[in-house]
Amino acid sequence: MDTGRSSSNHNESDVTMSETQRPHWGSKMGFILAAAGSAIGLGNIWRFPYITQQNGGGIFVIVYLLAVLFIGLPVMLGEITIGRHTQRNPVGAYGRIAPGWRFVGALGIISGLGILSYYSVVAGWTIGYAVKSIGGSLDPNGFGAFLGDWRQQIGYLAAFSLLTSFVVASGVQAGIERMARVLMPLLFLLMLGLIIRGLTLPTAGAGLKFYLMPDVDKLTTKTFLFAVGQAFFSLSLGMGAMLTYGAYLKKEDNLVTCAVAVVALDTLIALMAGFLIFPVIGHGLHKGGPSLVFVTMIAQFSHMTGGTVTAILFFVLLALAALTSTVSLMEVFISYLIDEWHMRRLSAVVLTGTLSFALGVPSALSLGAVPSLTHIIHGKGFLDIFDFAFGNLALTLGGLLMCIVLIYRWGFRHAADEVLGSSPKFRPFAQTWKILLQYVAPVAIAGLLIYCLVTGTGLS
């Protein structure tokens, strides 16, 4: 349904005022690095390799690439397009293109805050382990005690929240973009160095076999659902992070090259993560999640020559990847407070940082420190419940609603005009984009949502 209301429902003086004050990326490359920084995170480095191995190795990689291409990329372009068109935070953006649908943006900023709270807990562990490796006190058997120590849990959560707040408080260009320009190349180099080190280990051959050996028997409907879920989380879709970053793009920036570059970089790093983790481990993984990185990898580091340095670099790598993601999660809420509540950036950061820290405390204490938080519903602890509710359900629901709003409320033609304005060469592909957004992505996402609801489990 094409109502044409998008351009008529806001008043001009409002646009002129906010558009001149609105921050923008210094360049398109600044956006690409910051958005790739959001996408590349813990999801790539430890979740992707593990999910790949458990879901059929090489076969899963192929299904994942298809999910990224046919679902991730079109949804990414959709989110960035809504952001650039409206130059607003998710709530304001949906309000502009489809009055009455502001709640989709609200769902996004709430899930952003929810994810930020528990993601910062895990991110805090990476600093904790970087510190431990520098002090030479890494112990593969020490993870349980670490999780049960409330001082370390709260301390590292606070440290990571402060770090994120500091970057976000410095602003879009001076904070987020500058951080991404320095950290992303560094992350890439660190990863390359660690991969090369891993490939020289005697365990490399066996590890790579486990990672990539196709196991066709594992190819089921679940494989497709896991691939879609992983693509969503990994590409930071469904909660308005890409929309928020897209809202700092200028009218002349080519949206298609932006979306393609971010998706390609995220996928490259995910694939590289497999080449980093498996050669070091050398055998199949039976457990994913935290124990992969904080137990199994450490056990391997302790046997190898130069293990301490490798461990330090590995945890620094994880911390950097996590930081560029938490910054984007926080910026979603910040942009809302600035746009809709006219708050100053610093006050917005203080409020959001405090809120996400407070919300993170129960997650930080739910892995051993406070027994009543470890089993809340069906044996799941607080952190797992947050991951399920926000990292699985809310993201997928948000993605589904984005497709519906773009196609049926805003009208595909407006979205296509926004893209074609700066990327005229996209014209022959516009119809394919429409089909993917109207049919392919919603069906796949709805399938995933139903799976999560019916089984009551997420994908971690």
* Phi, psi angle pair for 163, to nearest 5°: -60, -50
- From the list 6, 38, 87, 422, which residue makes contact with ligand PFF (rule: CB under 6 A)? 38
Residue 332 CB, shortest distance to ligand PFF, in Å, is 7
Listed in order, strand segments (DSSP E) in 78-155 are none
Does residue 241 touch ligand PFF according to CB under 6 A?
yes
Residue 119 CB, shortest distance to ligand PFF, in Å, is 7
State the DSSP code for 377: B
Does residue 98 touch ligand PFF according to CB under 6 A?
no
Select from 20-28, 35-43, 82-90, 405-413 the region that touches ligand PFF (CB under 6 A): 35-43
Does residue 32 touch ligand PFF according to CB under 6 A?
no
Contact between 38 and 245 under an 8 Å Cβ cutoff? The reply is: yes
Q: Which residue has the tokens 């365990």?
A: 203
Select from 5-13, 184-192, 199-207, 230-238 the region that touches ligand PFF (CB under 6 A): 230-238
Does residue 42 touch ligand PFF according to CB under 6 A?
yes
Residue 356 CB, shortest distance to ligand PFF, in Å, is 13
- From the list 54, 87, 164, 234, which residue makes contact with ligand PFF (rule: CB under 6 A)? 234
Contact between 179 and 324 under an 8 Å Cβ cutoff? The reply is: yes
Does residue 236 touch ligand PFF according to CB under 6 A?
yes
What track of x and - describes contact with ligand PFF for positions 401 through 440 (by CB under 6 A)? ----------------------------------------
Count of residues interacting with ligand PFF (CB under 6 A) = 16
Residue 238 CB, shortest distance to ligand PFF, in Å, is 8
> Nearer to ligand PFF by C-beta: 123 or 437?
123
- From the list 6, 25, 28, 43, which residue makes contact with ligand PFF (rule: CB under 6 A)? 43
**What number of helices (H) and strands (E) belong to the chain?**
24, 0
DSSP string, 290-358: HHIIIIIHHHHHHHSTTHHHHHHHHHHHHHHHHHHHHHHHHHHHHHHHHHHH---HHHHHHHHHHHHHH
**109 to 128, contacts with ligand PFF by CB under 6 A?**
112, 115
> Nearer to ligand PFF by C-beta: 57 or 90?
90
Residue spans of alpha helices (H) in 47-101: 48-54, 58-67, 73-86, 90-97
Q: Strand, helix or coil at 380?
A: strand
Residue 43 CB, shortest distance to ligand PFF, in Å, is 2
Residue 348 CB, shortest distance to ligand PFF, in Å, is 17
Type of residue numbered 356: S
Alpha carbon separation from 442 to 397, 404, 450, 453 (Å, rounded): 10, 8, 12, 16
The percent of the chain in helix, strand and coil, each rounded to the nearest 5, is: 80, 0, 20
Own/partner contacts of 27-31, CB < 8 Å, gap of 24 or more, are: 28/249, 28/253, 28/254, 28/257, 28/258, 30/173, 30/177, 30/180, 30/181, 31/177, 31/245, 31/246, 31/248, 31/249, 31/253, 31/258
Alpha carbon separation from 1 to 219, 388, 403, 433, 440 (Å, rounded): 38, 33, 13, 17, 19
Select from 18-26, 33-41, 207-215, 439-447 the region that touches ligand PFF (CB under 6 A): 33-41
> Nearer to ligand PFF by C-beta: 38 or 164?
38
d(C-alpha 140, C-alpha 52), whole Å: 24
**300 to 339, contacts with ligand PFF by CB under 6 A?**
325, 328-329
> Nearer to ligand PFF by C-beta: 39 or 107?
39
> Nearer to ligand PFF by C-beta: 68 or 239?
239
Residues lying near ligand PFF in the complex (CB under 6 A) are found at 38-39, 41-44, 112, 115, 233-234, 236, 239, 241, 325, 328-329
